[in-house]
Amino acid sequence: MLAVDRDQALAFRVAGHNVHARTDPLTAVAACAIQESPPGWWRVALHARAEGDVDSGKVLMVNAMRGAPHVVPVADAAVFTSALVPGDDGLKALIGSLVAKEVTEGGHSVREAVDLVMGAAREGLADGALGRDDFHQAMRERLPDTLLPWCRGCQSHHVRPGLWRALGPLGVTVMPDKATYALAPAASAEDAQHRSFPIEKSRAELVRRFLRCFGPATHTQLASWAQTAPAYAKELFATLDEELEPVKADGRKGFVLCGDVPRLEDPPAAEGVRLLGGFDPYVSQPDRDSLAPETALRKRMFPAVGRPGVVLNEGELRGLWKGRKKGDRLDIEVTWLGKEVDIADEAAAIASLRGCETARVTGGAGRGA
């Protein structure tokens, strides 16, 4: 069995995400989709991977992995949506165990609750897109009280997020704008799934793209990344059994695609500096232990709130950063984890993407690296 060290595994992932060298925008988006969280930050992630902007007609935004909004290629939408949906036995993982418990206590099976919410969304959005508040109101008018619990934060009754976010993977809704929902192109049909990519092929392709970006990896890591049932993730891995190569990365067993073994053995060199947001797909990899081996550093990188971004230089983690707008200037504070590198050009680019005219970089050495 091939054995590689931590550095090789991380270099493989950096290349899988196209962070090592910029590529064309659509290829960058197609690698494993790009999370749009916080709002507007998907463009920062795209800048780290590609030159220029992507054709807006070739991508769409939809609730996908982990229920979070993601920008995905239109042609590959099923790979990042319907491929996530297990059979009835696994729907609990799609909507979340706490939400599943709540709906069953209200007298509904998970399948019934999902079907009711899907039907309400189709009716409510039949005349066009709605903002979040109007969308919730349309759902209130069409759903039983048992699916409209009180939300203390919103001070209102509404469908639990786990249910309405599942509408993306279920092929019912897309997000044409921030906090705006519309019917997916196929959602008016009785079987509302994105069919531009056949379902069985989309499931296999989901595993391929996951492994190209996050391998060596296991099915449990796929389940964590996608927020799906481990048993379903295991089934997905099994569909590619003949394409998988077992390897050991830093002493732990995982899998890569057979065709990717040469890239794992000799990853391409990464070039230049990148500033990645805290929810960048590379930073959000399920193998946090390899990304940040020290416990103290992991705690700083992944706090409950206020997650910082990371500075990569030639693919290696060199610092953490936070940005704050002050008028037309973006202030970027960096905590260096070693020798400082020049990030002025990247800071200026990100300032522009965030609607600022200039950037100011400050910072010093950190602890716990």
Looking at residue 102, what is its pLDDT? 93
Looking at residue 152, what is its pLDDT? 86
Roughly how many angstroms between the first and final C-alpha of the chain, as a whole number? 32
How far is Cα 4 from Cα 38, in angstroms, rounded to an integer? 34
Looking at residue 189, what is its pLDDT? 46
How far is Cα 5 from Cα 282, in angstroms, rounded to an integer? 18
69 closest CA partner among 30, 91, 37, 94? 37
> Which pLDDT tens digit goes with each residue over 328-349?
999 999 999 988 999 999 999 9
Pairing of strands 244-249, 2-4: parallel
Read out DSSP for 76-91?
A: GHHHHTGGG---GGGH
Residue 186 pLDDT class (50, 70, 90 cuts): low
Residue 251: pLDDT over 70 = yes
Angle at 93 between CA 308 and CA 209, to 5 degrees: 60
Angle between helices 199-214 and 230-238 (to 10 degrees): 100
**Range in 10-24, 189-203, 277-291 the model is least confident about:** 189-203
Looking at residue 193, what is its pLDDT? 43
Looking at residue 367, what is its pLDDT? 40
Token pair belonging to 339: 């020798």
DSSP lists the bridge partners of residue 275 as: 311
Residue 191: pLDDT over 50 = no
Residue 190: pLDDT over 50 = no
Which one-letter DSSP state was computed for residue 268? P
Residue 71 pLDDT class (50, 70, 90 cuts): very high
Q: What integer is the mean pLDDT of 247-269?
A: 97
Under a CB-based contact definition with an 8 Å cutoff, are residues 80 and 100 in contact? Answer: no
Q: What integer is the mean pLDDT of 304-320?
A: 96
Read out DSSP for 276-302?
A: E-TT-TTTT-S-HHHH--SHHHHHHHS
Residue 315: pLDDT over 70 = yes
Looking at residue 90, what is its pLDDT? 83
Q: Count how many Cα atoms sit within 13 Å of the Cα of residue 293 in the half-sphere of its side chain.
A: 7
Looking at residue 366, what is its pLDDT? 47
Under a CB-based contact definition with an 8 Å cutoff, are residues 301 and 307 in contact? Answer: yes
Residue 117: pLDDT over 80 = yes
**Range in 50-64, 99-113, 183-197 the model is least confident about:** 183-197
Which residue's structure tokens are 């069953």? Answer: 104
Q: What is the pTM of this model?
A: 0.92
Q: Quick check: helix, strand or coil at residue 275?
A: strand
Residue 277, amino acid: G
319 closest CA partner among 306, 334, 333, 302? 334
Token pair belonging to 137: 């109101």
